[in-house]
Amino acid sequence: MLSIENVSSGYGKIGVLSEINIRLEENSILGVLGRNGMGKSTLIKVLSGLLPCHSGKIFLDNEDITNYPPHLRAQKKISTIVQGRGIFPRLQVIENLMLGKLLQTTVKKDRLDEVFGYFPILSERTNQVAGTLSGGEQQMLAIGRAIMSDPKSCF
């Protein structure tokens, strides 16, 4: 039903997906596993048409949909469920973290170094716009922001 052939993609000059090949039959379920930032969500973006292929082809029922825009793919019943973390996507990583303690008047200590200790990637990406982090990285940011409020309990 869905055939992904030698698809490569990424963000600008940054390559994330390299010659991916997947064949999906009707009524089947495929799990794609990989560490944070490996490109799972990027693959979903490519399939939904939000991100162009650098090379390769995508076929749906033998129809070449590689260059179809998202709304055409949606009409063809390709649906996407995106990750959501409740972070502020247009603010930088560091701004999101600082917002965590903004309303706290009784924060005893600054826990930024602790957050960076748990999640070193955040310390490398302080100025990245949070919405462009990978899903897992956004989850780290969401947890980090919670820690910044120096909580007693965290759900």
Ligand X SMILES: Nc1ncnc2c1ncn2[C@@H]1O[C@H](COP(=O)(O)OP(=O)(O)OP(=O)(O)O)[C@@H](O)[C@H]1O
C-alpha to C-alpha distance for 111 and 143, rounded to whole angstroms: 12
Name the residue nearer to ligand X (CB basis): 41 or 66.
Answer: 41
User: Which segment (16-24, 27-35, 95-103, 130-138) binds Mg ion by CB under 5 A?
Assistant: 130-138
In the list Mg ion, ligand X, none, the entry touching 96 (Cβ below 5 to 8 angstroms by class) is: none
Place of tokens 């949070």: 130
**Could you tell me if 16 and 9 are in contact, meaning their C-beta atoms sit under 8 angstroms apart?**
yes
Residue type at position 113: D
Which residue is associated with the tokens 């991100």? 51
* Between 15 and 117, CB nearer to ligand X: 15
Classify residue 124 as exposed, middle or buried by CB count within 10 Å of its CB (0-12, 13-18, 19+).
exposed
- In the complex, least distance from residue 20 CB atom to Mg ion, rounded to whole angstroms: 15
x/- track of binding to Mg ion for residues 34-63 (CB under 5 A):
------xx----------------------
CB-nearer residue toward ligand X: 40 or 145: 40
Q: Residue 34 touches which of Mg ion, ligand X, none (CB < 5 to 8 A by kind)?
A: ligand X
SS3 88: coil
Q: Would you tell me which residues interact with ligand X (CB under 6 A)?
A: 11, 16, 34, 36-42, 132-137
Instruction: Answer whether 130's CB lies under 8 Å from 138's CB.
Output: yes
